[in-house]
Amino acid sequence: MSSLSQLEQDLKQFRALPYHSDTQLAQKLSEVQAWQRGRIHKTHQALFASANNHAMGEFLIDQLYGGEKFNVLAEQLERMVQKAEKLEKFIPANAVSTGAAGIIEAINAIKLDLQLAQYLQENHLSVDEPSMIKAYRSVNAESARRQQMADLKQMCYRTDKYLKSFILQKAFSLAKGTAYKKGFQPLYDFIAEGFAAIKPIKSIGAFIEPFCEKELQIITNVHAGKEHPFDV
């Protein structure tokens, strides 16, 4: 299955998620995502403080826990993805597949956090650290959370690899006008934002490895029953 076919399938699954037709669940998910953004900022404060890392940190948070911002992007993408096979005629296929992978990663993050939101809603719990710990343990999506980090790491290394290709960069830059003209601006801009965020980083490994290491340690702590699992 091509990256664009996979993206189309994932967007259909995204649109079928129950929070789109349940305002209370949507609000709870929004609160969970806001909590996640705050927690990630706190956990990785030192990593994100570097001038070279700041843009990438913000991009990851916006990508994985973008809330309403991602909903708008998804709606735009749904309208264009059925004709998106034309996109690879003027934008490098590697750039398109990287962008598609990033969007799929964001959808997977929403699915995982939706599980937490559903648990909190069903049990009439507010979104705070004790309740989030209960939700994580009750939902018990440890393996899926670990896979999320593996996929994120792979996506970052792939993006960094393609960004180092002068030919790809040039071809991608030249495609902007055509992409906008043909209605592919949402996906083009998403890819461009990712490239711009990763460009200042001298070593992607020095960024994503410690990021994932802490996130994986938190997953371990949560499911091992540690009292303060987010303190890493």
Select the highest-mean-pLDDT range: 150-154, 182-186, 197-201.
Answer: 150-154
Length of the chain: 232
User: In 3D, which of 20, 38, 39, 40 has the Cα closest to residue 29?
Assistant: 20
Average pLDDT score over the chain:
89
CB 132 within 8 A of CB 35: yes
Terminus-to-terminus CA distance in the chain, angstroms? Answer: 39
Residue range 90-109: mean pLDDT, rounded? 84
**How do residues 190-210 score in pLDDT, each as one tens digit?**
888 888 888 899 899 999 999
Q: What is the pLDDT of residue 6?
A: 82
User: In 3D, which of 101, 105, 114, 86 has the Cα closest to residue 21?
Assistant: 114
Its pTM surpasses 0.85: yes
Q: Is the pLDDT of residue 153 over 90?
A: yes
Beta strands in 131-210 (DSSP E): none
Query: Domain coordinates of the chain in residue numbers?
Result: 3-223
CB 165 within 8 A of CB 130: no
Please state, in angstroms and as integers, the Cα–Cα distance from residue 45 to each residue in 57, 94, 211, following that order: 9, 32, 10
Q: Is the pLDDT of residue 76 over 80?
A: no
Q: What is the pLDDT of residue 83?
A: 67
